[in-house]
Every structure is written in C-alpha cells, then in structure tokens.
C-alpha cells in the first residue's frame, strides 16, 4: 500500500535508491522490498539510513533494476492464524491472509496542533456514508435481593455517550497524520474532545465584537445548570472560522429565545446567518485498543472510530 515506482533505473552494485520516503514505514535498520515486472523478480534489501528523497542501503545491490520497479517498506511478520482456502471452482478461490508483525511497528505519535483547554480536539474529515452514532448510555448498577423492589443507581450521574464516526482520508500525508493521531491516543489511553456533529444550538441574534454570550433558539437549556458533558461548544462559521468556548450559565429571555453565557469573549463580530453549526463537545476516550485501517487504494484509507464520554474529568 505504500509502494512507489522507481523514476530511474538502479545499477548493479549501487547503494542508493532515490524515492520519496516521507509518510511511509521506511526506517533505518529496516528493510525494503523491490518487486519487478513479475512477482518472481524481487529482492529484499537492508536500509542503513534514509533521507526524505533516498534510501542508503547497508549492502550493494546484487542486480540492476529498471525504472518502474516498485519499492515497498518491508516488515518481519507471521501468519495470524492459518488461512482458509474455499473452492469456488476447481481452479479458483478467494481467500484472505492476516499477518502479525514480529515486533512493534514504530510511528511518530502526534495529536495535531488543534487543542481546547489543553486537550486535543478530534479534527478529521468525517464522512457520512455511514451515519454517525451517538448513544447517551448510562452506567446503572442494580441490586435485587428478592425481598423488595430492586434498587438501581446511576453510578456516573450522567450519560457516558458512546459516539461512533467514520473517517476517510486521501493522500499519504493525511493518512500519516491519521496514524499519528491513533498512535498518540494509544487505544483507550489518551483523551480528546469529540464534537456531537449536531446543531445543538441555533443562533438567532447577531454577535458583537467582544461579546461573551449567544442568543439562541429556546431549547430548554436554561432550565437546569450546565451538565459537564453539555457545557463545552464548538462554534463553526460558514467561512471555516471555529471558536471553542465553555458555557457558564443560561437564562430565558422569552418563550422563544435563551441566552447562554460564555467563559470568554469572542474575538470577532458575526451575523446569526454566518453560523454554520454550534455543537457540544464531549471529552472522550476510545472504546477499544485496536484500530482497523482499510485501504481502498494505495493512498485512500478509511477507519471507524468509537469513543466513550468521560465523567468527573476536571478539565
């Protein structure tokens, strides 16, 4: 999936392979696989060092290779279970092979530059071929001794939303950034803000420079104090500008309008019609420690991410 064709031929005895090594699994001390016009034409070479545009080999090439030869990063791996061989016909059958790397596959971990209150924000090109899912699940404990009515308690005191989104990125650089985010999250170890992707508030009043409140269509938000998982918002304008703020209170102005107070002033004025979406943010961790990346082509990758909301996080 990370292979590329040689732009120029390689000579017998050469020790340098000129190619773009960025955003791929090439590494000093690792290996590269050269594949010619047929699978029989191949060679495994050891990498001594690398730059952004070349691999320096530990030993000279044992053969020459024409332009167009494909070069792939190579990892030592073993079969993850024996493969099944169904017979569609006597000479045709479809099968899948799973491999497990023999050693940890190193990759730079990075959350990206976008953060709110010191915690990274999920900022990926989410796609809607699979509907995003938001389930406000609660953690109930029930005790029933058979002598009286069962006793139930909500252990968290609020929903711990289970959020599932699909993401597709195009280009090896974008795929590398996605992989860096997953390495930084470390499965369910790392936390980040996840937007609801919903129009949780509809702004109905124009916003002045330095304003620290929003007038929104009545939604019943002012009827109770802001809950921990419903107080942080992302304000997105149609021009792409995004603001992150925390709601500190809300009041009812009329039967149709509420005013939510923000923790800091907005740095620019904008009209109500300029607002594309106001969505709640929830601090989450991944539900699982395994992420599956599905490559449609050599530079288009898709994954599904599932998160669980945190409680009593103190952020």
At 52-106, the pLDDT tens digits run 999 999 999 999 999 999 999 999 999 998 888 888 888 888 888 889 999 889 8
The torsion angles phi and psi of 180, rounded to 5 degrees, stand at -65, -40
How many domains is the chain built from? 2
Task: Let me know if residue 304 belongs to a domain.
Answer: yes
Whole-angstrom Cα distance, residue 132 to residue 163? 7
Task: Let me know if residue 86 belongs to a domain.
Answer: no
Nearest by Cα to 121 from 307, 276, 247: 307
> 36-39, long-range: CB within 8 Å, 24+ apart, which pairs?
36/65, 36/66, 36/69, 37/68
- Helix extents (H) in 169-242: 172-185
Are 139 and 44 within one domain?
no
Are 9 and 155 within one domain?
no
pLDDT for position 85: 87
pLDDT for position 299: 87
pLDDT for position 157: 84
pLDDT for position 127: 85
Last residue of a domain, one of 71, 101, 131: 101
Task: Let me know if residue 90 belongs to a domain.
Answer: no
pLDDT for position 140: 85
What residues in the chain have per-residue pLDDT under 50?
A: none
Range of the domain at 262: 109-315
Task: Let me know if residue 171 belongs to a domain.
Answer: yes
Task: Let me know if residue 129 belongs to a domain.
Answer: yes
Task: Let me know if residue 87 belongs to a domain.
Answer: no
Are 43 and 184 within one domain?
no
Are 121 and 270 within one domain?
yes
Are 188 and 307 within one domain?
yes
pLDDT for position 262: 97
Task: Let me know if residue 16 belongs to a domain.
Answer: yes
Task: Let me know if residue 154 belongs to a domain.
Answer: yes
């Amino acid at each position: 999936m990370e292979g590329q064709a040689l732009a120029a031929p390689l000579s017998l005895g050469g020790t340098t392979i000129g190619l773009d090594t960025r955003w791929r699994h090439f590494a000093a001390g690792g290996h590269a696989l050269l594949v010619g016009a047929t699978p029989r034409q191949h060679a495994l070479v050891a990498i001594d060092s690398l730059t952004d545009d070349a691999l320096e080999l530990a030993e000279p090439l044992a053969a020459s290779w024409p332009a167009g030869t494909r070069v792939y990063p190579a990892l030592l791996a073993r079969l993850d279970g024996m493969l099944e061989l169904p017979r569609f016909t006597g000479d045709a059958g479809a099968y899948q092979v799973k491999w497990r790397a023999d050693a940890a596959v190193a990759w730079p971990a990075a959350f990206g530059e976008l953060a709110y209150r010191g915690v990274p924000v999920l900022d990926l090109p989410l796609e809607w071929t699979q509907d995003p899912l938001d389930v406000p699940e609660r953690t109930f404990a029930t005790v029933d001794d058979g002598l009286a009515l069962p006793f139930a308690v909500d252990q968290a005191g609020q929903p711990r939303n289970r959020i599932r989104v699909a993401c597709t990125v195009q280009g090896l650089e974008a795929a590398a950034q996605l992989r860096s985010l997953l390495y930084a999250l470390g499965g369910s170890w790392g936390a980040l803000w996840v937007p609801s992707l919903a129009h949780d508030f509809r702004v109905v009043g124009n916003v002045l420079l330095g304003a620290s409140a929003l007038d929104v269509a009545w939604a019943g938000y002012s009827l109770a104090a802001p809950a921990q998982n419903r107080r942080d918002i992302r304000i997105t304008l149609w021009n792409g500008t995004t603001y992150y703020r925390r709601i500190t209170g809300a009041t009812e102005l009329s039967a149709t309008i509420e005013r939510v107070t923000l923790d800091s002033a907005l740095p620019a004025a904008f009209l109500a019609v300029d607002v594309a979406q106001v969505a709640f943010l929830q601090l989450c961790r991944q539900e699982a420690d395994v992420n599956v990346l599905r490559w449609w082509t050599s530079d288009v990758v898709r994954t599904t991410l599932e998160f669980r909301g945190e409680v009593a996080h103190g952020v």
